[in-house]
Amino acid sequence: MWVLLLLLALAGFGGLSLLVQRDSLKQFDLSIIHAVQGWENDWLTRIANGLSYFGSSKIAVPFSLVIAVLLAVAFKHRREIVLFIAALLGSWMLNETLKALYQRARPDIHRIATEGGFSFPSGHSMSAFTLYGILTFLLWRHLPTKRWRIALIAFSLFMILCIGLSRIYLGVHYPSDVLGGYWVSACWITLCIRLFLIWQRRTAAGRA
């Protein structure tokens, strides 16, 4: 069943990418860009730049390394390191591949920030979804109460959504870029987690 759902999700992304290639989402993108950039002020620009910087590789890579060390040394979760690193590296490679494939130019409407490279799907959105999605999965089972779990989900969703919105606000991504990044990342981490659970079960069965 999960394979079928994953294939349907991938087919959905294929449909989205086709709409992007045909420029069929222009009005959708422009309406959201104008709405989000209509909030522009100095305070929000500083926050958006901070969120965008926090979601960049300059911060995400060291942060991920710290998490990996904690999983290995402090929590003795060495298998989880494999999942964590594979998910993040795979997400980055997948994003680079898809950007090279679609080669969508970045929006040129109202640039608050400068960014190079192609636009679809959003790398910041993909990395944020993958990072916080995998962290939520890894930490969920080790939190003592339902309140802590709700807080974890709320924090992860907040960071994912805010980093995505910051890219639209700064004028470096279309909303469909962000949506595409979320979509691909959701498919990717679903596959990673599923394979990780299969690996865990087979390892446990081998020891029995």
CA dist., res. 36 & res. 40, Å (int): 8
Q: Which residues contact 84 (CB under 8 A, 6 or more apart)?
A: 64, 67, 68, 71, 134, 138
Mean pLDDT of the chain: 86
Q: What is the 3-state secondary structure (H, E, C) of 19-61?
A: HHHCCCCHHHHHHHHHHHHCCCCHHHHHHHHHHHHHCCHHHHH
Domain residue spans in the chain?
A: 2-207
Instruction: Encode pLDDT of 51-68 as tens digits.
Output: 887 777 677 777 777 777
Q: CB–CB of 39/45 below 8 Å?
A: no
Task: Give the CB-side neighbour count of residue 40, counting CA atoms within 13 A.
Answer: 14
Model pLDDT, residue 183: 93
Give 32-43 pLDDT, tens digit per residue: 999 998 888 888
List, for residues 106-132, the tens digit of each pLDDT value. Answer: 998 888 888 888 999 999 999 999 999
Sign of CA dihedral 42, 48, 50, 52: negative
- Low-confidence stretches of the chain (pLDDT < 70) are 1, 57, 71-72, 74-77, 204-208
| pTM for this model (two decimals) | 0.89
pLDDT of residue 11: 86
Nearest Cα neighbor of 133 from 87, 85, 66 is: 87
In single-letter form, the type of residue at position 39 comes to W
| Residue 63 confidence (pLDDT) | 75
pLDDT at 4: 77
